[in-house]
Amino acid sequence: DVVPITRALISVSDKAGIVELCTYLASKNVELLSTGGTAKKLRDAGLTCIDVSDYTGSPECLDGRVKTLHPKVHGGLLGVRGNAQHEKDMTDNGIGKIDITILNLYPFEATVAKGAAFEQCIENIDIGGPSMLRSTAKNHAFTTIVTSPDQYDEVKATIEEHGGTTLAMRKRFAARAFSLSASYDSAIATWFTKELGEESPVVTRVYKPEFPLKYGCNPHQKPAGISSLLNSNLPFTVLNGTPGYINLLDAANAWLLVKELREATGLAAASSFKHVSPAGAAVAVPLTDVECAAYEVTPEAAAKLTPSALAYLRARNADPMCSFGDYAAVSDIVDEDTALILKKEVSDGIVAPGYTPEALEILKSKKGGKFIVLEAKADFKPDSVEYREVYGMTFCQKRNDVVITKDHMTKNVVTKGGLSALSEDAIRDMIVASICVKYTQSNSVGFAKDGMMVGVGAGQQSRVDCVKLAGRKVTTWYLRQHPKVLGLQFKQGVKRQDRVNARVRYIEGDFTDEERTRWEAQFETVPEPLTTAEKDEFMKQATGVTISSDAFFPFRDSIDHASKVGVSYVAQPGGSVQDPQVTQCCDDYGMVMSFTSVRLFHH
């Protein structure tokens, strides 16, 4: 299996380490063949090398376009060693064996990225390189194809140990060479087709495996892994922990949500994800005293919170029962304040553009060291289209890269007062709610107040059902500020999350027998129930809430139901045949409605 090396063909665009490798080969009496810049580099280093033109005896012509496309080169690479006829043919035709090819291809994307003109890009397409690569890889039973500087050490070590290259290594290198050739031509084909403005007859997506996952959506879905697009990289760096498939889906959506909130509002933003939809999201707007009480933070402490901490505190408190075990995202550098809030919560991980050293220390120690910490690359630019395979169909679409701005909320206010009825705060909340539904599984609606989601409805199949589902969350959020809820006197030692849950269950009131017993045991004195009448009375004060919908409201019923939870502002794409009735309905309740013209389905 070991093939000794006597003659090497070298042609590299990336010259890192090439002198060292060739110096080593020369020390083993390997004859070096080379061309152009590579030959010069080797000679400058004092090595002897033969120019390929001299070797083939074919004069250099056509600006070197056909230098290596010669039987003496390819015969030397392709001849089957030990095959009597091949050996004779080689001898008869003066074809010497070439045992190793060391080459790499100048990345075609790099040429394109430099902004080269069409003709220059074409000129840069390497013809001789891929041919030598493929000949050598095909004949790997005898020849070695080296395509990257990161393989040089192994080449040296193997020759040193075995006196030549091993079959196992040659096979591995050959497989990699074909991958390189495939991705090189994929890049050309993709660019070329794009230049023509045509549908490509074949689309190749070339991925670089980055890390394996323990499993996919479920433990029985193995193998699973994460790749980047070739010549790109991942949007996140893993600073701590081992993210899983769903963690990373959460992280992608949670991060995009806060990034866009930040850009649209200029405020620090946070989100709290569960199962690829936000349980909550918010921008940094100061808390009222009653909110402080509901979220168990003193007004003094709240006043000192950094914007990141404030945003996450709000995001987590939209629906703190659902946020249990969330995946968090923060738009700004995570500081100690934010980390200390997260420390108290049960959470799976976080993504943010950066961390202070103190914050990182705190987060790394969560979950026995298993808390996932991802650093988002702030300037990451994903490809504009995304591919997704489902049951043998590959779905391709432009990413949903619409940027939600103030303009969407102000350009088409269809209710009575027109634009003048919209406050800056209302516009901000419309933006917050709309960006939130953009990253919520459809159908979705979201309710916002004071820069904070107070009810997100995900994954529903009827719009009015979705409004009701999210509306119940808004009611629960409001009622957490009811004096009777704030006044609940827990026994000493009842844990934070248990207090959170107990308040919500008190509000919902639909205890099962066993649960009631357990619930009551958390109090010295069993609290009086919160009656429906008390709830209704309290909800009358609800006002200034914004609802955003990922698609138009087909009927007025959604607005009717929204009116029950204090909605004053409505953002929706518009476009239903019933738009006039829906607008009339908003006018009936004195709501302000904007048609954004942007549908935001998300799947």
Q: Least Å distance between CB 567 and a second copy? A: 13
CA distance linking residue 135 with residue 139, whole number of Å: 6
Residue pair 52/67 in contact (Cβ under 8 Å)? The answer is: yes
Closer by beta carbon to a second copy, 336 or else 375:
375
Q: Least Å distance between CB 358 and a second copy? A: 29
Taking alpha carbons only, the member of 573, 531, 524, 577 closest to residue 551 is 573
Closer by beta carbon to a second copy, 113 or else 301:
113
What is the sign of the dihedral through the CA atoms of 435, 546, 549 and 441?
Answer: positive
Alpha-helical (H) ranges within 540-589 are 557-562, 579-589
Q: Least Å distance between CB 488 and a second copy? A: 19
Closer by beta carbon to a second copy, 263 or else 557:
557
Which letter does DSSP use for residue 441 in this model? Answer: P
Q: Least Å distance between CB 574 and a second copy? A: 13
Distances (CA, A) of 376 to 226, 237, 271, 355, 530: 16, 7, 14, 10, 44
Cis peptide before 4 (omega within 30 of 0): no
User: CB neighbours of 423 closer than 8 A, spacing ≥ 6?
Assistant: none
CA distance linking residue 29 with residue 6, whole number of Å: 7
Closer by beta carbon to a second copy, 17 or else 299:
17
Closer by beta carbon to a second copy, 396 or else 526:
396
Q: Least Å distance between CB 335 and a second copy? A: 25
User: CB neighbours of 433 closer than 8 A, spacing ≥ 6?
Assistant: 446, 447, 448, 453, 546, 547, 548, 571
Closer by beta carbon to a second copy, 250 or else 335:
250
Q: Least Å distance between CB 445 and a second copy? A: 13
Residue pair 539/426 in contact (Cβ under 8 Å)? The answer is: no
CA distance linking residue 194 with residue 182, whole number of Å: 18
Closer by beta carbon to a second copy, 183 or else 308:
183
Q: Is 275 a catalytic residue?
A: yes
Cis peptide before 443 (omega within 30 of 0): yes
Alpha-helical (H) ranges within 46-166 are 52-56, 71-78, 84-92, 108-113, 118-123, 128-138, 152-162
CA distance linking residue 486 with residue 532, whole number of Å: 17
Q: Which two tokens stand for residue 385?
A: 């289209």
User: CB neighbours of 315 closer than 8 A, spacing ≥ 6?
Assistant: 270, 271, 272, 278, 280, 281, 282, 323, 328, 452, 453
Closer by beta carbon to a second copy, 29 or else 512:
512
Closer by beta carbon to a second copy, 41 or else 170:
170
Helices 36-44, 18-27: axis angle to 10 degrees equals: 70
User: Considering 97, 275, 364, 561, which one is annotated as catalytic?
Assistant: 275
User: Considering 28, 86, 97, 138, which one is annotated as catalytic?
Assistant: 138
Residue pair 145/101 in contact (Cβ under 8 Å)? The answer is: yes
User: CB neighbours of 387 closer than 8 A, spacing ≥ 6?
Assistant: 203, 205, 394, 395, 396
Q: Least Å distance between CB 407 and a second copy? A: 14
Q: Is 138 a catalytic residue?
A: yes
The residue type found at 150 is: D
CA distance linking residue 254 with residue 311, whole number of Å: 13
User: CB neighbours of 153 closer than 8 A, spacing ≥ 6?
Assistant: none
Q: Least Å distance between CB 511 and a second copy? A: 9
What are the residue numbers of the active site? 138, 275
